[in-house]
Amino acid sequence: MTSTAVSADFHSTFQADKRATPPSLTDITTRLHALRAGLNENLAFLPAYDRRSCELQQLKELESKLSQLRSKDKPKSRFAFSAGKSKAAPVKAEGEAPTPGSSASAPSAPTPKQSTLPVSANAATAAGPVHVISNLSSQLVRAPSDVEGGYTITLESLSSCIIDLRPPPQTSGTSGRNATPPSTAQATSIHAKSLRRCVLLVPVMEGSAIMEGLEDCLVILGAQQFRIHSSRSTTILLHVPSTPIIEHCSALAFGPYPLFLQQPEYTSKHHDVQDFDWVREGKSPNWAVLDPSNEAFAERDAEAISGLGDGDGDAS
Amino acid sequence: MGLLTIIRKNKAKSREMRVLFLGLDNAGKTTILKKLRSEDISTISPTLGFNISTLVRDGYTLNIWDVGGQKTLRPYWRNYFESTDAVVWVVDSGDRLRMSDCGSELRGLLGEERLAGATLLVFANKQDLFGAMSLEEIRDALDLPSIVSHRWIIRSCSAYTGTGLDEGMDWLVKEVAGRLYWNGLSAGPTPVQPAADAAPARLTADA
């Protein structure tokens, strides 16, 4: 739709305005305000990644530079309210419902592996921790260990990560004197957005999977339903009893779930993909079934990944 | 006898309601319907067009239209708006990434002239899952309290376990019946619970 055009437009004007920031302090302030206002205006059209990069990184950087300059310029004020609360909140609250994921990234900085935050700091809800894994690159992400029963997990803005959501390895019978009882935790549904060059390994789930904005990924997953939107160049090894849905996608390859990982009871329809952008006769050009010679490759891939699990005992 | 009375009497004779099931894709619309009809829910494929099903509750026949929620299908929703008595808006409570999309789609719907007066039931589905957003969070994310154009309620449910489905549909039927067939129910319109004393399973419009 037009939103991509709008966001592209905005991106270039934002960059140009940013470069053109003139030297005088008052000028800088007004220009910054204009930038901020422009950003706020376009917030609704911007994809999450741009929003974050414009708002959080670039604009914040400029603003902090400005305040540094100001503090040099002016005599230091004798009285100041403690900073922090009022600064970031208003703008963030505007565009969308604040996702715990975005607020989660800050406190988890020292161990940025995954963040488990209460639903909201002030609410007295007893909903338990929320599994939002966001804003990581080059990490190995494991299934959360602090849950019981079926859980839903959200992945957002990850690049070059391996995400392994198989249940944590159970302590074996021989060494299991005081072993913890086997975890009942299992991923039941998954929501993913903006993954680049990631490997996602998910056991066969009872619920559904929905993904958006994947690029150059390998997804190994079993689910009741599978939907993928606005993605490209991604290989999906899938076990699904219903027809997979693709929408605004290109260069997707669908193959069978590696059965040595898990043997689901139902037969898979991973080859019966429904493309919402292709209503004509014949097969959609946006996806292909992996041919059998490629499946060997896929299995090798998966074996390499399952090898990661074997090394786990040494790590912990 | 006024025209309105005649229309009402006519409608009362048929005791039918037209209900529209809408929401983003992956919300669980079809699964809720199948569960309500005690059908198998393990083989449901994403809805490519729409499903029609009939449900009889409290002596009323509900003609339910379940329209697919894929982005490509949403522009076609409006083809189903005519003479709709109630909208059931289904939300995937685990879908944090698209909760704002969900809110704006709902807003667009409520601005629709042909849906004016329709009762709104919001089902916060998939509440059986650990990590799902709470009812309060969803209510606020969708900004439901600001809705004044429609009678609304939000209820938690799980299409998988069946929890909350009957209660939600019961409220819907009573609410619509009370509005359409004023002599159909002795109790008349059910009093709407104020949001303040909301039971954990439901939050409602404050009249």
Q: Write down which residue in A13, A40, A72 finishes a domain.
A: A72
When CB atoms are compared, the residue of A130, A243, A245 closest to B131 is A130
For residue A11, is it within any domain?
yes
Over range A168-181, report the average pLDDT.
Answer: 54
Percent of chain A with pLDDT over 70: 54
pTM: 0.68
Q: In the prediction, which pLDDT does B26 show?
A: 96
Note whether A191 contacts B97, CB cutoff 8 Å: yes
- Segment A46-66 shows an average pLDDT of 68
pLDDT in the model for residue B198: 40
Is pLDDT of B57 > 50?
Answer: yes
Which residues of chain B are within 8 Å of residue A130 when distances are taken between CB atoms? 96, 131
Q: Which residues of A touch B95 (CB under 8 A)?
A: 191, 210
Long-range contacts from A281-289, C-beta under 8 angstroms, 24+ separation:
A284/A246, A285/A250, A286/A246, A286/A249, A286/A250, A286/A251, A286/A252, A287/A246, A287/A249, A287/A252, A287/A253, A287/A254, A288/A252, A288/A253, A288/A254, A289/A253, A289/A254, A289/A255
Residue A84's pLDDT band (cuts 50, 70, 90): very low
For the ranges A183-197, A208-222, B146-160, B171-185, the lowest mean pLDDT is seen at B171-185
Q: Does A289 touch chain B (CB under 8 A)?
A: no
Out of B46, B126, B134, name the one closest to residue A245 (CB): B46
| DSSP-based three-state secondary structure for A113 | coil
A140 shares a domain with A27:
no
- What pLDDT is recorded for position A290? 87
**Region B43-70 average pLDDT:** 93
Q: Which residue has the higher pLDDT, A119 or B156?
A: B156
The token duo for A141 is: 């992400």
> Residue A280: which pLDDT band, with cuts at 50, 70 and 90?
confident
A51 lies in the same domain as A113: no
Task: Look at the block and give the residue holding tokens 């809408």.
Answer: B22
pLDDT band at A289 (very low <50, low <70, confident <90, very high): very high
Chain centroid to CA A117: 16
Mean of pLDDT values over B121-125: 97
Domain membership flag for residue A316: no
User: Any catalytic annotation for residue B193?
Assistant: no
Report whether B125 belongs to an annotated binding site: yes
In CATH, what number is assigned to the domain containing residue A110?
2.160.20.70
Using CA coordinates, name the residue in chain B closest to A206.
B42
Residue A153 belongs to a domain: yes
Output the average pLDDT for chain A.
71
**Range with the poorest average pLDDT among A145-154, A178-187, A304-313:** A304-313
Q: Is B131 on the interface with A (CB under 8 A)?
A: yes
- Whether the pLDDT of residue A216 is over 70: the answer is yes
Cβ of residue B128 closer than 8 Å to a chain A Cβ: yes
**B104-122 mean pLDDT:** 94
Tally of domains within chain A: 2
* Cβ–Cβ gap B96/A101 under 8 Å: yes
pLDDT at B199 over 70: no
A227 neighbourhood in chain B, CB within 8 Å = 25-26, 46, 70
| Interface contacts A/B by beta carbons within 8 Å | 110
Percent of chain A exceeding pLDDT 90 equals 34
- Domain end: A72, A88, A106, which one? A72
Question: Do residue A197 and residue A58 come from a single domain?
Answer: no
More reliable by pLDDT, B152 or A98: B152
For A208, the enclosing helix (H) or strand (E) is strand A208-215
> Same structural domain for residues A100 and A68?
no
Asked if the structure places residue A236 within a domain, the reply is yes
**pLDDT in the model for residue B186:** 43
A60 shares its domain with A114: no
Per-residue pLDDT tens digits for A4-50: 677 777 777 767 666 665 556 667 677 777 777 777 767 666 666 66
Higher pLDDT, B182 or A91: B182
Amino acid, single-letter form, for residue B71: K
B207: exposed, middle or buried (Cβ count in 10 Å: 0-12, 13-18, 19+): exposed
What mean pLDDT comes out for the span A159-173? 79
Average pLDDT value for residue range A211-237: 96
> What average pLDDT does range A88-98 have in this prediction?
35
Option in A150, A274, A277 nearest B48 (CB): A274
A164 and A101 belong to one structural domain = yes
DSSP assignments along B50-84, one per residue: EEEEEEEETTEEEEEEEE--STTTGGGGGGG-TT-
**Domain ends where: A57, A72, A87?**
A72
Residue A200, pLDDT > 60, answer yes
Task: Please state which of the ranges A280-289, B12-21, B197-206 shows the lowest mean pLDDT.
Answer: B197-206
Residue A135 lies in a domain: yes
- For B69, other C-beta atoms within 10 Å of its C-beta total 25
The pLDDT value given to residue A86: 37
Interface residue B134 vs chain A (CB under 8 A): yes
Q: Name the most confidently modeled range: A30-34, A77-81, B20-24.
A: B20-24
User: What is the residue-wise DSSP string for A55-93?
Assistant: IIIIIHHHHHHHHHHHHHHSPPPS-----SHHHHHHHHH
Residues 263-282 (A) with a CB less than 8 A from some CB of B: 274, 276-277
pLDDT of residue A186: 86
Are A294 and A259 members of one domain?
yes
Instruction: Tell me which of B61, B70, B163, B193 is the catalytic residue.
Output: B70
Least confident of A155-159, A214-218, A273-277, B190-194: B190-194
- Residue A153 predicted with pLDDT over 60: yes
**Neighboring chain B residues of A241 at a CB cutoff of 8 Å:** 42-43
Q: What is the mean predicted confidence (pLDDT) over B27-46?
A: 94
Whether B194 has a pLDDT exceeding 50, the answer reads no
Residues A132 and A281 in one domain: yes
Helix or strand or coil: residue A270? Answer: coil
Do residue A160 and residue A41 come from a single domain?
Answer: no
Split at pLDDT 50, 70, 90, the class of A292 is low
The region of weakest confidence among A81-95, A208-222, B127-141 is: A81-95
Q: What are the chain A neighbours of B136 within 8 Å (beta carbons)?
A: 123, 125
* Residues spanned by the domain of A33: 4-72
CA distance, residue A251 to nearest chain B CA (Å):
19
Any domain includes A82: no
pLDDT of residue A56: 59
Q: What is the pLDDT of residues B71-86, one digit of tens each?
A: 999 999 999 999 999 9
Residues of B in contact with A265 (CB under 8 A): none
A56/A143 same-domain check? no
Answer yes or no: do A28 and A130 share one domain.
no
What number of residues does chain A have?
Answer: 316
Residue A312 lies in a domain: no
Domain membership of residue A131 (yes or no) is yes
Higher pLDDT, A228 or A291: A228
Can you give the pLDDT at residue A19? 65
Interchain CB contact of A120 with B (< 8 Å): yes
Q: CB A191 to CB B96 under 8 A? A: yes
Is the pLDDT score of A209 beyond 80? yes
Are A151 and A241 in a shared domain?
Answer: yes
Annotated binding residue at B27? yes
B140 compared with A305, residue with greater pLDDT: B140
Angle value at C-alpha B23, between A187 and B46, nearest 5 degrees: 60
